[in-house]
Structure 1
Amino acid sequence: MPLMTLKVLLPFEVFAEETQVSRMVVDTAQGAFGLLPQRLDCVASLVPGILSFQVDEQAEVFLALDEGVLVKTGPDVVISVRHALRGTDLAQLRDAVKQEFLTLDEHEYAVRAAMAKLETGFMRRFASLRERSS
């Protein structure tokens, strides 16, 4: 039986590279769907969720993924996401995701607030320059 290779890419590294993958399930905006080696080539937009896959006859592996894209060409599946976490126990993975993504959300909120302040200051200065030149 043919098998798949799975590569999960983050912005600055290869997060996971697995060979001998017999099946996987991913979450998309249209719902979860499974991939088997014989499935036709496809591209899918991923939503934050859990990717599960099985290598040979080993236990199922779980990856928590941020939004991203999946591309399947032949036996190769490449997934590109911003953040990912790996686990074999769903409860522990859920707790890790909560902690990791809540920290990211707080950081992103702080960055967005700082950017909004910078943009507001820029617009005020730009407006005052326009008024002076009029």
Structure 2
Amino acid sequence: MSLSDEMRVSLRLPARILFQGPAARLSGSAAHGGFGILPNHVDFVTALVPSVLLVTQPGGAERIFGIDEGLLVKKGHDVDIAVRRGVEGGDLGTLHATVGKAFAEIEDEERAARAALSRLEADMVRRFTILRKASP
């Protein structure tokens, strides 16, 4: 592996890519504590916990993300991050409110989907019961 001043980071949600681009540094939190990754860091895999993920781009600009649990894989100069939920914030002060609002909306959608699935399951059980009674 050649030495590099940057790495390619992809932060993926189940339905879309939240961030994709170069980074000079990345820091986050795993189950056993905080970590930092530089471009020439050894290959690395870790489970992420709900926390703040900080991506420092080559020019020094920082991108701040509030993330839910997920997985980070660094291989070579590529860092792939997959999380269930995540949002980008402008700064740490506003990130808390942004995360709370976005995650609450997602939880409402998940609750509605679970209710619909429960209704479908109940209807299926009811139909099987009717079929069973109709058979000799």
Of the candidates 1, 6, 10, which is equivalent to residue 7 of structure 1?
10
Contact between 1:60 and 1:88, CA under 8 Å: does it hold in 2?
no
* SS of structure 1 residue aligned to 2:24: strand
Give the 3-state SS of the residue equivalent to 1:72 in structure 2.
Answer: strand
Separation in structure 2 between the aligned mates of residue 95 and residue 78 of structure 1, nearest angstrom: 26
Root-mean-square deviation (CA, aligned residues, Å) is 2.1
In the alignment, is the contact (CA less than 8 A) between 1:24 and 1:35 conserved in 2? yes
Provide TM-score, normalisation by structure 2.
0.81
Q: Which residue in 2 is equivalent to 1:109?
A: 111
Aligned equivalents of 1:84 and 1:42: distance in 2? 21
Query: Alpha-carbon deviation of 1:59?
Result: 4.4
Runs of 4+ in structure 1 displaced over 4 angstroms? none
How high is the sequence identity, in percent, across the aligned residues? 37
Q: Give the Cα–Cα distance (whole angstroms) in 2 for the partners of residues 45 and 71 of structure 1.
A: 9
Q: What is the TM-score with the length of structure 1 in the denominator?
A: 0.82
Deviations 1:63-103 (A, max 9, x none): 11233321111111111234322123112111011111111
Unaligned runs of at least 5 residues, structure 2: none
